[in-house]
A and B are shown apart, each in its own frame.
Chain A
């Protein structure tokens, strides 16, 4: 039997609205890392040596050429990188040599990139967080709630954000973002 073909939650959605581009980031793999209690230092060291990233403070992310590491909470982080989703987690597990507990989260989330001038006007209809440069600079990351859906927001660049939400409600999430765009542009 032939191997199964993956279908991203939004089928690889990609649209532009004026100068704004909204795109499903179906190429991304997400792996969550949990720091074992008492062995946090070893975990941080392993992350540093294998991923060449320092574990950032909560609310921030650290990036290198290939990976973004978001601190999700006191003992949890999420690694985002372009990869074959299916193999991402074992690869990370191997790289970290068991220094962190890993869970593949790729399929739990849908990721949308929203970028372009005026992006904050769209987001202020959705996102309760303060996205001013001083309080939410590039590489800041946070979980919050948007239109009744749990969501994560990451500022990739000055005018570019990645929004993540549950994959099961991907359609509703996309609808919420599209509606915001429609209401302000």
Chain B
């Protein structure tokens, strides 16, 4: 596969390490989250057959975490974003 890095252009996916669903960015605060929230965050997945937003890390590259929108049926990639920007857009900060 090829991931079109937003800063570096197309790179072989072999340079990247895969983590999983982009919802892993939505970590609840451990001091305030309920047991159920923390469990669902850590363990449950939508696992869609179709469009999937997912985290890839450019380990053999610029060390950016990316959010890649990829179809799990066709592997077509329709969007690649810097995870840091996505995190901020989801309200994460410090």
Question: Footprint of B on A, CB under 8 Å?
Answer: 57-59, 72-74, 76, 128, 135, 142-145, 150
The reply on B15 being an interface residue by CB < 8 A is: yes
A-B contact pairs, 26 of them (CB 8 A): A57-B7, A58-B8, A59-B7, A59-B9, A72-B63, A73-B7, A73-B62, A73-B63, A73-B64, A74-B7, A74-B82, A74-B84, A76-B62, A76-B63, A128-B12, A128-B14, A135-B9, A142-B8, A143-B60, A143-B62, A144-B60, A144-B61, A145-B14, A145-B15, A145-B60, A150-B60
- Given A58-B7, A59-B7, A74-B82: A144 and B15 interface contact (C-beta under 8 Å): yes
A59, A128, A145, A150: the one within 8 Å of B8 (CB): A59
Q: Which of B14, B61, B63 makes the CB contact (< 8 A) with A142?
A: B61
Cα–Cα, bound, A145→B61 (Å): 8
Which residues in A have their C-beta under 8 angstroms from that of B61?
142-144
Interfacial residues of chain B within 71-94, with CB under 8 A of chain A in the complex: 82, 84
Q: Are A58 and B14 in contact (CB under 8 A)?
A: no
Chain A: which residue is nearest B59 at the CB level? A150
Q: How many angstroms from the CA of A58 to the CA of B61 in the assembled complex?
A: 11
Measured in the bound complex, the distance between the Cα atoms of B26 and A158 in whole Å is 46
Quick check: B14 and A72 within 8 Å, CB to CB?
no
Query: What's the minimum C-beta distance from B66 to chain A, rounded to whole angstroms?
Result: 11
- Give the docked Cα–Cα distance between A176 and B62 (Å): 23
B3–chain A nearest beta-carbon distance, Å: 13
User: How far is it, in angstroms, between the C-alpha of A59 and the C-alpha of B11 when the chains are bound?
Assistant: 12
